[in-house]
Chain A
């Protein structure tokens, strides 16, 4: 079954601290993986995209990693800011282009 799982479900961290969010996928055949950030009351916005041949991609303080062998990805946030409070969604795309599978998201709260 094609699915994307994310952990933890929610996370609270202090401003300035780092954190890592996890994503496991069972999508096959796999094409690429994206991380989206969704602020409360807004639509998701793309942070990074990685194909199966890439193992890391950065976007400012956000760094995504991908291990296509173990079908795992992580999103590392460095020096968190209050504006990082959001839901982070992992999305896997099948090679055949006929299926995009969204994970349920990790809700991150950054507190002062």
Chain B
């Protein structure tokens, strides 16, 4: 049982480049999330998907887009990367309830550097 799988684990981008972070979960969870983690700060919600077919903005959505491809997969896209997007990105899933009321399962993270 893999849980939540994120790819890639590491990525270096040049300013202005685009990329998509992939996330898949095999726990049949309805809700999925994308967070970013920066030094000295708590995890901040970028976007979430309460269920297949729906997505909503979180606390820091600017510069990102998401796609809930199906119940298993939730991708995060950076259209034009900026140095301020240098961070560690975590995908998470949960069920039941929204916003992790019953606990998140996190992926292992993607460390992104924008130069």
Interface of A: prevailing SS? strand
**Chain A positions within 8 Å of B90 at CB level:** 43-44
- Shortest beta-carbon distance from A14 to chain B in Å: 26
Closest to B99 in A: A100
Give the total of A residues in contact with B, Cβ under 8 Å: 23
The A/B interface has a contact count, at CB < 8 Å, of 48
User: Are B103 and A97 within 8 A (Cβ)?
Assistant: no
Is B104 touching A102 in the complex (CB atoms < 8 A)? no
A-contacting residues, B76-105, CB 8 Å: 90, 92, 97-101, 103-104
Main secondary structure of the interface of B (DSSP, over half): loop
B49 to chain A, nearest CB (A): 15
Chain A CB within 8 A of B2 CB: no
| A6 to B, closest residue via Cβ | B42
**Contact in complex: A102, B42 (CB < 8 Å):** yes
Max chain A C-beta neighbours (<10 A), residue from B40, B45, B103, B107: B103
In the complex, besides A45-B106, A46-B103, A102-B42, 11 extra interface pairs with C-beta distance below 8 angstroms are A41-B109, A42-B109, A43-B92, A43-B107, A44-B90, A49-B103, A98-B99, A100-B45, A103-B42, A104-B40, A105-B42
Residues of A participating in the B interface, judged by any CB pair closer than 8 Å = 4, 31-32, 34, 41-46, 49, 89, 91, 93, 97-105
